[in-house]
Structure 1
Amino acid sequence: MPEIYFHVRWPDGVTQRCYSPSTVVEDYLVAGREYELTDFVERSRTALGIAGERVKEKFGFYCTGASDQLAQIERTAVVYAAADGAKVTVESLVNADGSRR
């Protein structure tokens, strides 16, 4: 399956490299776009859930990388949840080989 990384910038400027085992994340997140915190978390939840299901369909088991990544996104989002208007920016989408999407 084609893996993809998405780099995000949290409301305080901290950046994070996130992993998806499937390019389905491109259907939910756009490089250069800013998302409301809750919208970003929901889009990530949906995309990583689908990605995990695709791995299960192909290999017979869920992708722990996708579920771990979602858990990390959710834990990080809690830190910013109280901030009014908190936004997350998707800085880039990158193939596993490092080439940009």
Structure 2
Amino acid sequence: MPEMSFVVRWPDGREQSCYSPSLVMHDYLTPGAEYTVEDFVERTSEALTVASDRVLAKFGMRCTSAAQQMEEIHGVSASYRAGAVRILSMSGAELL
């Protein structure tokens, strides 16, 4: 199953490396784009849920890494009332 990483910059300039167990993130985020914090959280939550569902369908269990990443994004986002999140990079790889 392909996995991917993506790097974001929060409104205060903090950069965060994130993980998804599926390339589905490409359907929700665009490299170089900016999203409001609220929109970013919604998009990544939906994408990580889809990714975890794909893991469940293939392996019979949800992806705990996707759930952890979603929690981290929610936790960091709580610090911002406004502003934009920029998608700095996205890269994917096929697991061997």
TM-score relative to the length of structure 1: 0.90
Report whether the alignment pairs 1:28 with 2:28: yes
Larger RCO (alpha carbons 8 Å, 6+ apart): 2
Moved over 6 A (4+): none
How much has 1:77 moved relative to structure 2? 0.1
Q: How does 1:1-40 map to 2 (within 5 A)?
A: 1-40=1-40
Cross-structure match for 2:44:
44
How many angstroms apart in 2 are the aligned matches of 1:95 and 1:43? 18
Number of the residue aligned with 1:69: 69
Q: Which runs of 5+ in 1 are unaligned?
A: none
Partner of 1:87: 84
Structure 2: which 5+ runs fail to align? none
Aligned to 1:25, what secondary structure does the other structure show?
helix
What is the aligned residue count?
Answer: 94
The structure richer in strand per residue is 2
The alpha-carbon deviation at position 94 of structure 1 amounts to 1.1
Secondary structure, counterpart of 2:61 in structure 1: coil
Question: Percentage identity across aligned positions?
Answer: 48
Give the whole-Å Cα distance in 1 for the aligned partners of 2:92 and 2:3.
6
For the residue of structure 2 that corresponds to 1:3, the secondary structure is strand
